[in-house]
Amino acid sequence: MLDKTKYHIPEHVAIIMDGNGRWAKKRALPRSVGHKFGAQNFRKITRYISKTGVKVLTLYAFSTENWKRPLEEVNALMGLFKQYLIDSLTDFREDDIKVVFIGDRSAFDPKLIELINESEEVAKDRKGMLLNIAMNYGSRDEILRAVKQLCNEAKNGEIDPEKITEQDISSRLYTANLPDPDLIIRTGGEFRLSNFLLYQSAYSEFYSTETLWPDFHEEDFDNAIIEFNKRNRRFGGV
């Protein structure tokens, strides 16, 4: 466990959990097996991170573009979401983790929607880390919704277009009540956001590691925090 007196722990960490498919391929296994190990790792690492002092953890689980994958893979992922959401309901109670979801949940099957709503409901009074799961999430979709909402409010005379502020945009995003991410970690070695938190990441520190998601363990998270502590965040100042 990281020495909290030595390192500044970011308030909000977001993780792009990438590399499940490659992890499976390396072992000549179907991609769905990689997702299964990835889902197991999700539970383990979330519980660890909740003990480090991080206040908000956002995990990118399924993007608005991931529907393009073969039906078999999408179905395997949906099955795992159901399985692991049910399990995490009990698992996360012990750690006092509050669970919320961002993204368009209406596209999921009714059983999964029910589980999502239920996992938010049972955890709503918890006081520990906020776990924010991005599912059927896409930043462009999120921004588009905010724009439509603002246009409707303007049309109805509820808001003056000339007076719209950056805060008015933020407060209409899925992440309305959350601080911007301080650190975005991507596993699997790519250096891109893949439609994740585009508006919110204006001043986030980006950390990419070659480690594939199912292999991303406690010490890998610690390394990301150590690297974050070396960054000089200027926010445009000096």
Q: Which residues contact Mg ion by CB under 5 A?
A: 18
**Segment interacting with ligand IPE (CB under 6 A) among 18-26, 48-56, 95-103, 107-115:** 18-26
Is 190 a binder of ligand IPE (CB under 6 A)? Answer: yes
- Out of 2, 16, 85, 115, the only residue in the binding site for ligand IPE (CB under 6 A) is 16
Is 62 a binder of ligand IPE (CB under 6 A)? Answer: yes
56 sits in which H/E element: strand 56-63
Instruction: Look up 168 and say whether it is catalytic.
Output: no
Q: Residue for token digits 């200027």?
A: 234
Residues forming beta bridges with residue 29, ordered by sequence position: none
End-to-end CA distance of the chain: 33
Residues forming beta bridges with residue 16, ordered by sequence position: 60, 186
Instruction: Look up 18 and say whether it is catalytic.
Output: yes
Is 133 a binder of ligand IPE (CB under 6 A)? Answer: no
Q: Residue for token digits 């993007």?
A: 63
Q: Which amino acid is at 149?
A: Q
Is 18 a binder of ligand IPE (CB under 6 A)? Answer: yes
**Residue 130 and residue 12: Cα distance in Å, rounded?**
9
- Out of 57, 61, 80, 130, the only residue in the binding site for ligand IPE (CB under 6 A) is 61
- Out of 14, 77, 100, 146, the only residue in the binding site for ligand IPE (CB under 6 A) is 77
194 binds, among ligand IPE, Mg ion, none (CB under 5 to 8 A by kind): ligand IPE
The upper half-sphere exposure of residue 204, i.e. CA atoms within 13 Å in the direction of its Cβ, equals 25
What residues are annotated to the active site? 18, 66
